[in-house]
Amino acid sequence: MAPLTNGSVHKSTKIHSKVVIIGSGPAGHTAAVYLARANLNPVLFEGFMANGFAAGGQLTTTTEIENYPGFPKGIMGPELMDKFREQSIRFGTQVITETVSKIDLSARPFRYWREGQEDEEPETADAVIIATGASAKRLGLNGEDMYWQSGISACAVCDGAVPIFRNKPLAVIGGGDSAAEEATYLTKYGSHVYVLVRRGELRASKIMAKRLMNNPKITVLWHTVATECQGDGDLLNNLRLKNVFTGEEKDLPVNGLFYAIGHEPATALVRNQLHTDEDGYIITGTRHNTN
């Protein structure tokens, strides 16, 4: 392998490692730091837009992180991930900016393939750490496909600043911390932000909920779900809403819709090879997971 000056490696001949880590979020880099310090020479595949995210994972799409110990003034998500990466590399982790697209856990050493090289000889590892994270869920509403990225997004931080949202009414669906954070962030750009909450209460933490409720540019619509996304053929300009108690339907003219309804685990890579729960998260710590 040919290490780059920053510790990454170029495409190489096939490698065998004691441990390969798939994923470059906090879990992947935490594993890398510990393994590297134990002289296990880990190889970490950070992905190339794996699961739709830049290397570093979902935190690269967030703004300020206020609740990570050691950063009393907060830190931006991408900056935190750069620091994680730097720390992994400092102790000798080989970071490869490619995506692992196929894996075979049926025999040891475990075999895996890089994206685009699925027909080639596999690379091998004695142990694999799956740290592939998750991605934002979508609702599959009528009109969603038509206006996806033309008014609809699952990432306010990535898309909130684009001109189509400037000084326009916007909506966020969800009642958790993500919804609170995204809605608050969007008030920088939109004229007003409506938060559609399907229940009569928020799931968000108290501090985030308070921030949301106290923002004069935010209105929470309780017991409300969206049923359809409408627009002019090019861009979104309206949502059909339904009150889940009364069944009453109405229009909400908005130019942006942001989903903040939770996440789906990126475990397709190991589906049918490891036990997962009903949401697709890997069940750890059980003997039947080790072939």
How many Cα atoms within 13 Å fall on the side-chain side of residue 284?
A: 5
Under the criterion CB under 6 A, does residue 25 sit at the interface with ligand NDP? no
Residue 176 is a binding residue for ligand NDP (CB under 6 A): yes
With a CB cutoff of 8 Å and minimum separation 6, the contacts of 79 are none
Binding mask 28-67 for ligand NDP (x = CB under 6 A): ---------------------------------------x
Distance CA 234, CA 250 (A): 22
Q: Which of 177, 184, 229, 257 binds ligand NDP (CB under 6 A)?
A: 177
228 vs 63, 207, 280, CA distance in Å?
29, 31, 27
Please identify, among the stretches 3-11, 81-89, 105-113, 259-267, the one whose residues bind ligand NDP according to the rule CB under 6 A: 259-267
Q: Does 227 bind ligand NDP (CB under 6 A)?
A: no
Q: State the SS3 of 223-246.
A: CEEEEEEEECCCCEEEEEEEECCC
Q: Considering only residues 111, 166, 198, 240, which one is a binding residue for ligand NDP as defined by CB under 6 A?
A: 198
Q: Give the interface segment with ligand NDP, choosing from 17-25, 147-155, 195-203, 274-282 (CB under 6 A).
A: 195-203
Whole-number Cα distances in Å, 162 to 10, 50, 153, 172, 255? 34, 23, 11, 16, 11
Nearer to ligand NDP, 111 or 137 (CB): 137
User: Considering the rule CB under 6 A, would residue 26 count as an interface residue with ligand NDP?
Assistant: no
Residue 241 in the binding site for ligand NDP (CB under 6 A): no
Q: In this chain, which stretch among 91-99, 126-134, 167-175, 232-240 interacts with ligand NDP, using CB under 6 A?
A: 167-175
Judged by CB, which is closer to ligand NDP: 192, or 263?
A: 263
* Max Cα distance, the chain (Å): 64
Q: Is 190 in the site for ligand NDP (CB under 6 A)?
A: no
Which of 174, 220, 267, 270 touches ligand NDP (CB under 6 A)?
174
Is 141 a binding residue for ligand NDP by CB under 6 A? The answer is: no
Answer yes or no whether residue 152 interacts with ligand NDP by CB under 6 A: no
For residue 210, state whether it binds ligand NDP (rule: CB under 6 A): no
Select the residue whose beta carbon is closest to ligand NDP and give its number: 176
**Shortest distance in whole angstroms from residue 255 CB to ligand NDP:** 20
Structure tokens at 209: 């909920």
107-to-6, 125, 273 alpha-carbon distances in Å: 34, 11, 11
Closest CA to 130 of 288, 291, 281: 281
What is the Cα gyration radius of the chain? 22
Between β-strands 236-243 and 263-265, what pairing exists: parallel, antiparallel or unpaired?
A: unpaired
223 near ligand NDP (CB under 6 A): no
Catalytic annotation, residues: 155, 158-159
The Cα 273–Cα 291 span in angstroms is: 9
Where do contacts with ligand NDP occur on this chain (CB under 6 A)? 67, 139, 173-179, 181, 198-199, 203, 205, 225, 260-263
